[in-house]
Structure 1
Amino acid sequence: MTNQHPYIEETEVEAGPKGIASVETAIRLVRIIEASSDPLTLKEIAEVIGFSASKTHHYLVSLVRCGLLDRDRAGFGYTLGSFSLQLGLTALGRSDTVNMVSDAVRALRDEIGHTTAFSVWTARGPVVRHSEPSITPLGVSLRLGTVLPMLKSPTAAIFIAWLPDNELQSALKALPRGTLSLRTLAEIRNQTRKERGAHAAGVRNPSIAAAAAPVFGRNSRLIGALSTLGLIGQFDDRPTSAVSLALQRHARALSERLASHA
């Protein structure tokens, strides 16, 4: 591997206002990892940026602590962290691409009639960023900014399934001790990945059922969860129901649009 990389320029620093070199170096490291479709090891990152392994490691430790980077599950490679994802989503919300998300939420609602939403991951757990109210009688409401529960929540199951464990820790630690065992987390992860989505009854209260599907962006990174919910008896949360199939279709279409737009 050579030291050449799209984000590494071997030219003199441009003239202009003084900045902080270490900050600019840290951002270069983040951009190297962002450009890779796979996790990069310490050795690979050091070779690309042209630093010693020791110097590179110091930067990586700080970037992981700040949430801009994360270690993969095997512990040998580095990927973007939860704060990088949040920054991306914030930027998404201030650009034209936010329309893709809101259009998908609205299109799903118009097709199935139930309340629909798009949620992102935060240190508190899943938070609703976009929502469209039900057009069916006695529909369930879901306000923007709502923090969704970690228990019996299809939306939470999406993040449990596709986020690294350490990105889940802050929300999991806030739960009463023993609420979610490692075995239960593994079961949720395996089932959700197998079905490419999650379904549950008794969400938020005993009369509500819900379903959720993952939305991915560039390099197949999880961006958020597209979901829908309604009253039990009116809402069919089975994986093979028309509601669930429509949810999956809209989630896939949104993922394709976000990936191609990035």
Structure 2
Amino acid sequence: MDAEKDARRGIQSIEVGGTLLQALVRAGAPMMLKDLARDAGMPPAKAHPYLVSFGKLGLVEQDTVTGQYRLGSFALQMGLTALHELDAVKIASDAATRLALDINQNVALAVWGNHGPTVVRIVECNRIVHINMRAGSVMSVLDSATGRVFAAWLPAELTRAVIESELAHKPSGQQPGLAATLAEVREHGMARAVGYPLPGINALSAPVFDSSGQLALAITTLGPAADFDPAWGGELARKLAACAAAISYSLGFNAAAGG
């Protein structure tokens, strides 16, 4: 027990000073000492020595004209190094596993591949769900919930060729209401498919964004229509949205700044 306690013991002064860095990150903009100290929950006189030490390490910088503090060059280097080491699919896989167990539905992860939305991971829940989908499956951009996420949030130049190819193989040669469908997807922050293109299967799919605000992947939950509520405001939709937001946050996405 003593060994475990020692392993968990930290240095309190570092933890206290760290609240100043956290406050700067939350603000996303330069701050005056009094505002920074207030957000960190300490008096300015206590915050100042920490900022001096952080300045020597390059973690913060002070503008000589305005007196405001901002994150320094070393903090930027740390952030870039952390982002470089991130594995979006691995991080999303861990979250997808927890989601599948929570909602008792299968969960799939997809990225944009050479031929369109490509499933890279499927997490099965604790019950048998027969769905004709596997890792490597390429989903329809126009008809699947997963595909519509990419159509709604990827730049048009990336999806245009795949969309045009799908349209060419439709009987009418066109997709009625595509613009309205994608507008609905963006409005609700996710896409859904009810009984189509997989008969008897409903699906909800949400976007995951990276630190630059670009679409990194889509996370999709799907299951038999009999026990899968595809309502925009339903429990499944809420939990999927929360999971996607948590993954995006882990990848460095700042929704408040530019989401």
For this structure pair, what is the TM-score category when the shorter chain's length is used for normalisation?
Answer: 0.5 to 0.7
Structure 2 unaligned spans of 5+: 1-82, 255-259
State the shift of 1:182 in Å.
Answer: 7.2
Across the aligned residues of Structure 1 and Structure 2, the Cα RMSD in angstroms comes to: 2.5
Aligned residue for 2:219?
226
Query: How far did 1:204 drift?
Result: 3.2
- CA gap of 1:246–1:173, structure 2 versus 1, over 3 A, is same
1:203 aligns with 2:191: no
Superposed displacement of residue 205, structure 1:
2.5
Deviation at 1:140, TM superposition (A): 3.0
What's 1:107 paired with?
A: 98
1:133 corresponding residue in structure 2? 124
Evaluate the alpha carbon distance shift between residue 184 and residue 178 of structure 1 in structure 2; reply closer, same or farther with a 3 A threshold: farther
1:241 to 213, 227, 234: 234
Following superposition, the deviation at residue 187 of structure 1 comes to 1.3
The partner residue of 1:116 within 87, 107, 112 is 107
Tell me the secondary structure at the aligned position of residue 236 of structure 2: helix
> What is the Cα deviation at residue 198 of structure 1?
0.9
Secondary structure of 2:137's aligned partner: coil
**What TM-score does the superposition give when structure 2 sets the normalisation length?**
0.59
**Does the 8 Å CA contact 1:114/1:139 hold for their aligned counterparts?**
no
Q: Equivalent residue of 1:175, what SS?
A: helix
- Offset at residue 169 of structure 1 (A): 1.9
Structure 1 residues 233 and 226, CA gap change in structure 2 (3 angstroms)? same
Q: The residue matched to 1:155 in structure 2 has which SS?
A: helix
Report what 1:256 is aligned to: 249
Q: CA deviation at 1:237?
A: 1.1
Q: Read off the aligned partner of 2:106 and give its amino acid letter.
A: T
Which of the pair is proportionally richer in helix?
2
Superposition deviation, residue 139 in structure 1: 4.6
Counting matched residue pairs gives 170
* SS of structure 1 residue aligned to 2:110: strand
Q: What one-letter code is carried by the residue in structure 2 that aligns with 1:136?
A: R
